[in-house]
Amino acid sequence: MSDAPPEPGKFFLDPYMTWAKGEGIPVHLDFGHDLLALPTDRWERYDARGCFAHTHGRGDFVANYVLEVEAARKTRPVKHLYEAFFYVLSGFGSTTVWLPGGEKQTFEWGPKALFSIPLNSQYQIFNSSGRESARLSCTNDAPLAINHYHNLDFVFDNPFKFPERVGAPNKFEGEGEHSTYERTGGAATINVWETNFVHDLTSFKLYELNARGKGSRNVFFQLADGTMHAHTSEIPVGRYKKAHRHAAGTHVHAVGGEGYSLLWYDGDSDFVELPWRHGFMYTPPFWMFHQHFNTCDHPARYLACSIGSARYPFISLRRVSNEGGGSTSVKQGGRQIEYEDQDHRIHRKFLDEMAKSGVPSEMGDVFDEDFIRALPKEELTGVIDTPHLKGPAI
């Protein structure tokens, strides 16, 4: 054996990060980002502006970039061998997709629309405004594709076609197919909408999912027959979701409403707090508990994108989540903290924030809120005991 150091560039390579740094646009790294405010620069690949919005919790498979198309401009046609979900942050425009049979499909979009590009299909994005830029958030599995193949020509200039990924033409028109499946043990019915395009996430029909908190509503998306997952959830006025944890790489976009999210690892004495407003995105790191709170006077919605869809779970942790692990109590081997088991400080903070916003809490059916308001600060630690709750956990 030789004691000589390894040759430079021979080990510990990260082809995805090498590509990202070589694209000539800013690479931002933080716990989360305000995607509407991130600085962009000229991106030759798209002939537009862009930046990478990387997060500490993005994991190994999924990442995000922001694409900014200036007023009255368009991108150049591009294609790639990675899946891409586009969420419209601001602006109006259209997208043209070249389908495997040679025909074109064009659809128009506005703020808070969601669409997916079928795998390796060429596409071009147009800004229909002559005065304002359009910003789109692109959550993608480029790290998976580029690190696996580590050949950029193969990823960006591959002639292979995937006609099975396209679906019916009306899936680019906001139409789709609704189906359901039952989670293990009958914990909940999951509603899935299969499409390529959603006009507006703020008005899209959602379905009850009370296992994540009373009044919670949700729908899963199966976009372009992809391996990536997306879902939209809604938090009612005066309420919040139950905390849970999962694999890394779930990119959470706040779509509507105002509030905050708390994050912590099991055993932490302090929380990480992130704001909740349209444009903000973050990814909870692997196995880090996180919890979403609505403090405004209307329901709050969010979009979550990650690896592993309902049809193709891809990783074992996603399969367990799809089967119900994400909404099963940690006491029963799941990943969710029930209301009766959460830290005193969580609900006390929520009550304080609601008082600031002037919106009444609707959680009095779960917590003895007078008791929690009266707790001295030095006692705001530990776990809430069941007697401080009203009735069973929701």
* Domain residue extents for the chain: 22-337, 339-388
What residues in the chain have per-residue pLDDT under 70?
A: 1-6, 185-187, 377-394
Return the CATH fold of 22-337.
Jelly Rolls (2.60.120)
Closest CA to 255 of 196, 194, 179, 203: 203
Contact indicator for 363, 334 with CB cutoff of 8 Å: no
Give helix 142-149 / helix 15-22 axis angle, nearest 10°. 110
pLDDT reported for residue 392: 27
- Report yes or no: 120 and 79 within 8 Å, Cβ to Cβ: yes
Q: Quick one: pLDDT at residue 391?
A: 29
φ, ψ of residue 342 in degrees (nearest 5): -85, 160
pLDDT of residue 322: 81
Distance CA 183, CA 189 (A): 6
Closest to 310 measured CA to CA, from 227, 210, 189, 224 = 227
Check residue 394 and give its pLDDT: 21
In this structure, what are the phi and psi dihedrals at residue 198, rounded to the nearest 5 degrees? Answer: -120, 120
Query: What's the pLDDT at 384?
Result: 33
Task: Report which DSSP code applies to 390.
Answer: S
Closest-CA residue to 55 (of 30, 34, 20): 30
